[in-house]
Chains A and B, each alone.
Chain A
């Protein structure tokens, strides 16, 4: 079982609608939690980075939340656009272990339809 689980695996929404993606993790203790956006055929692009003490972080229409007690994070996308169609990946960095211990979720594939 992966230490970072994302749900749903895939999601289809209509343009203009909101959606929320979930990330549950078992990594503990951890240093930070990130959300990345990966367009098809491209490298991931960082959306938000939160330390264990932060509860929320926004980047435009993207808002990430973190509940360290329940080990859950969510990424909320407001007023979706066609360009939001991509995979969204949750990444947790353990407190110890250095760079080679980044733990990636499998991602949620989001499709925004007109």
Chain B
């Protein structure tokens, strides 16, 4: 009965490849997010998305693209992977309200070699 789940948990791939990380939430939330946590442990929001609007952090390269088949899923597709993409990626979800409680997934550790 995991609230926010991500797959895979670990992903090792070579530079130049294209990969996807899947995220699913069973909380009935309207909004989902992708975060990147780098080696210094800073969390940075990459995208937020609900069935009405996609908000993109302007610092995210366009090699990263979120795809939402329905409001319970938000997948992250990454093209032409680079060494600097190595990080832990977290998916999260929340209701769309002012003091929204965010629920995070367990994270996907991406290593680009």
Q: Interface on A for B, CB 8 Å cutoff? A: 2, 31-32, 41-46, 49, 51, 87, 89, 98-102, 104, 106-107
Contact = CB atoms under 8 A, between A and B. Distances in A.
Contacts of B106: 41-43
Interface of B: 4, 31, 33, 40-45, 47-48, 55-57, 90, 92, 98-99, 101-107
Given A31-B98, A99-B31, A100-B56, A44 B104 contact: yes
A106 B99 contact: no
Q: Determine the main DSSP class of A at the interface with B.
A: mixed
Given A43-B90, A44-B102, 14 more contacts: A32-B99, A42-B107, A43-B92, A43-B106, A44-B43, A44-B90, A44-B104, A45-B104, A46-B101, A46-B103, A99-B48, A99-B55, A100-B56, A106-B41
A67 to B, nearest CB: 19
Given A51-B99, A87-B41, A100 B4 contact: no
Contacts of B33: 99
A104 B41 CA distance: 10
Contact of B43 (A31, A32, A42, A89): A89
A99 B100 CA distance: 10
A103 to B, nearest CB: 9
A60 B26 CA distance: 26
Contact of B40 (A42, A43, A98, A106): A106
Residue of B45, B57, B103 contacting most chain A CB atoms (<10 Å) = B45
B102 A100 contact: no
Contacts of A42: 106-107
A22 to B, nearest CB: 17
A99 B35 CA distance: 12
A3 B99 CA distance: 21
B100 to A, nearest CB: 8
Nearest to A91: B43
Nearest to B101: A46
Contacts of A100: 45, 47-48, 55-57
